[in-house]
Amino acid sequence: MVLKILLIVLCVCVLSQSQKDGIVITGPGLTPQSIVMPARYFFINFTSINEQSYTPTLAKDLVVDIEGRSSSSKHCRVWVNKLDRKDGTFIVRYKLYETCLHLSIHVYYKKKDVSGSPFTFKGPIYPDQCDCPKTDFKQWFADYGCNQEYDQIQQDLKPFKDLDMKQQVKEIIKKYHHPESTSFCHYIIKDNELYRNCYGKHVGFNMFSDNILLSLTRKVKLPNIELIINLGDWPLVHKHDDVLPIFSWCGNGDYFDIVMPTYDLTESTLENMGRVTLDTLSVQGGAELAWSKREPRAVWRGRDSRAERLKLIDIAKANPDLFNASLTNFFFFRDKEQQYGPKQPHISFFKFFDYKYQINIDGTVAAYRMPYLLAGGGMVLKQDSPYYEHFYSQLTAWEHYVPIARDLSDLVDRVKWARDNDDKAQQIAINAKNYANQYLLPQHVICYHAALFWEWSKRIKSEVEVEEGMTHVPQPSFECNCDSIERKIRDDL
Ligand SMILES: *[C@@H]1O[C@H](CO)[C@@H](O)[C@H](O)[C@H]1NC(C)=O
Ligand SMILES: *[C@@H]1O[C@H](CO)[C@@H](O)[C@H](O)[C@H]1NC(C)=O
């Protein structure tokens, strides 16, 4: 009882303190014991500051210092990266390269700890490479903050129950194994170990599906599952055909494929602060200009993978005051380079946000840049399309983006509308960014996969058994003995 009152008093104090200095710090990176990610992150919000009164000195006066001890040397290796959203809020990312003991996160403003800081952690904080799965999936799922509704998963899995996967896999191979045109892998997770057999001529993309499955099984013990992952962009199971379970990166209203976050979004999660520079966090710090300073024109770059992309070039040439659009490569329509070229060099994705409006036109399937456009803080003009990614069903036209007809016939009018309704256009941009921060950050991408595979496991009735000749896919070797470190800490206490 006394403890309870004490806690309440403590909480009230903390709350009023953070209101006092007008700085609020939140995010999964403040729970590094439970939320293991390649790059952990949290947000710093100067609640008293809005975009208009934002000054760059704020960024200079804000210092984040993260340090801890390694088991051998004095300091553990941590890399910290601060992203300035230029609206009075910041994203801080940090990457651990080894297990850190006594980790502390200091947030200083004008050389003083802000309220709440430092955040300190006694137990070991593991880097993402550690193979230290938690044994209770549901507990892990809750602790990881995976508390969202997954309507798309429910919808995708509705046709499937009580599956004999041995039979399903056999049928899928018989129907869809065309080495020249399709590539897919049959995966098995048994006792949290990964096995696969791949089919097709171009199976290099299995590195993406391997990566997410290995990343998950390092974090939590997954139920035994068996599934087929399509390594191509096109969905495979047409609604005219027999219902068969294939997991794909892109969906289409006429297909049964079960949709996963795209390999691009997933890789940007798993290689955050690593091999990948564009992700839904970095793009928020990459834009240089506030909304009011951006050009009121629509920007686009890309390759010639769909006829409408050529049409866009015609429209842009006829309306240079409204557009800046160019093709960066000719492959599908090489004979048209004379007319629609010359091809222009790539520009940095961050440069897209020198403009107020960004155009999203399908490539061969959905354009996988959509998450970054939404997060980037521009107003997205999205082509109407049967193709979708795992989150599109949550988006609403005129709230999160401005819709454009598939044949682009209303594109010019839409850009004119945005110029005439700047407040509304800006609000759509803000909504999009808020949406991305709520659903498309690395934590959410990991959660989506976990939720999907957990739900999937319930649909399988047959015994999951590793078949002879399957390739075992091991975890990358990484020195990290979870058990002994935990024991060592317990001994220390
Ligand atoms: C920062 O905090 C203020 C006040 O709570 C809130 O209105 C605003 O939306 C927050 N900004 C961001 C980007 O989270
Ligand atoms: C279009 O954008 C590119 C890259 O930012 C820039 O170099 C070029 O001058 C722009 N063209 C027009 C017509 O604004």
Q: What is the pLDDT of residues 113-144, one digit of tens each?
A: 998 999 999 889 999 999 999 999 999 999 99
- List the residue whose alpha carbon is closest to atom 6 of ligand 1: 47
- List the residue whose alpha carbon is closest to atom 3 of ligand 1: 47
What local confidence, expressed as pLDDT, does residue 20 receive?
Answer: 63
User: Is the pLDDT score of 8 beyond 60?
Assistant: no
Rounded-to-integer distance, Cα 376 and Cα 379, Å = 9
* Lowest model confidence (mean pLDDT) among 45-59, 117-131, 245-259, 426-440: 45-59
Instruction: Note the pLDDT tens digit of each residue in 66-86.
Output: 999 988 878 999 999 999 998
Over residues 369-398, mean pLDDT: 96
Q: Is the pTM of this model over 0.95?
A: no
What local confidence, expressed as pLDDT, does residue 484 receive?
Answer: 53
Rounded-to-integer distance, Cα 310 and Cα 336, Å = 9
Atom of ligand 1 nearest to the CA of 87: 13
- Closest ligand to C-alpha of residue 431 is 1
- Closest ligand to C-alpha of residue 85 is 1
Span(s) in the chain for CATH 2.60.40.10: 2-130
Nearest to residue 211, comparing CAs of 182, 231, 183? 231
Span(s) in the chain for CATH 3.40.50.2000: 282-440
What local confidence, expressed as pLDDT, does residue 411 receive?
Answer: 97
Atom of ligand 2 nearest to the CA of 326: 1
- List the residue whose alpha carbon is closest to atom 2 of ligand 1: 47
Rounded-to-integer distance, Cα 360 and Cα 272, Å = 24
Instruction: Calculate Rg over the CA atoms of the chain.
Output: 24
Q: Tell me, in angstroms, the distance from the centre of ligand 1 to residue 125's CA.
A: 29
The verdict on whether omega for the bond into residue 118 sits within 30 degrees of 0, i.e. cis, is yes
Rounded-to-integer distance, Cα 222 and Cα 224, Å = 6
Q: Tell me, in angstroms, the distance from the centre of ligand 1 to residue 284's CA.
A: 15
- Closest ligand to C-alpha of residue 320 is 2
- List the residue whose alpha carbon is closest to atom 1 of ligand 2: 324
Residues within a 6 A CB radius of ligand 2: 320, 324, 347, 351
Q: Which burial class, exposed, middle or buried, applies to 381 when counting CB atoms under 10 A from its CB (0-12, 13-18, 19+)? A: buried
* 11, 160, 261, 307, 384 from 403: Cα distances, Å: 45, 33, 22, 18, 6
Q: Tell me, in angstroms, the distance from the centre of ligand 1 to residue 306's CA.
A: 40
Topology adopted by domain 2-130:
Immunoglobulin-like (2.60.40)
Q: Tell me, in angstroms, the distance from the centre of ligand 2 to residue 326's CA.
A: 9
Over residues 205-213, mean pLDDT: 97
Residues within a 6 A CB radius of ligand 1: 45, 47, 89
Q: Which of 3.40.50.150, 3.40.50.2000, 3.50.50.60, 1.20.140.10 would CATH assign to domain 282-440?
A: 3.40.50.2000
Instruction: Note the pLDDT tens digit of each residue in 318-345.
Output: 999 999 999 888 787 778 888 877 888 8
- List the residue whose alpha carbon is closest to atom 11 of ligand 2: 324
Q: Tell me, in angstroms, the distance from the centre of ligand 1 to residue 44's CA.
A: 10
User: Is the pLDDT score of 28 beyond 70?
Assistant: yes
Atom of ligand 2 nearest to the CA of 324: 1
Q: Tell me, in angstroms, the distance from the centre of ligand 2 to residue 164's CA.
A: 56
User: Is the pLDDT score of 175 beyond 60?
Assistant: yes
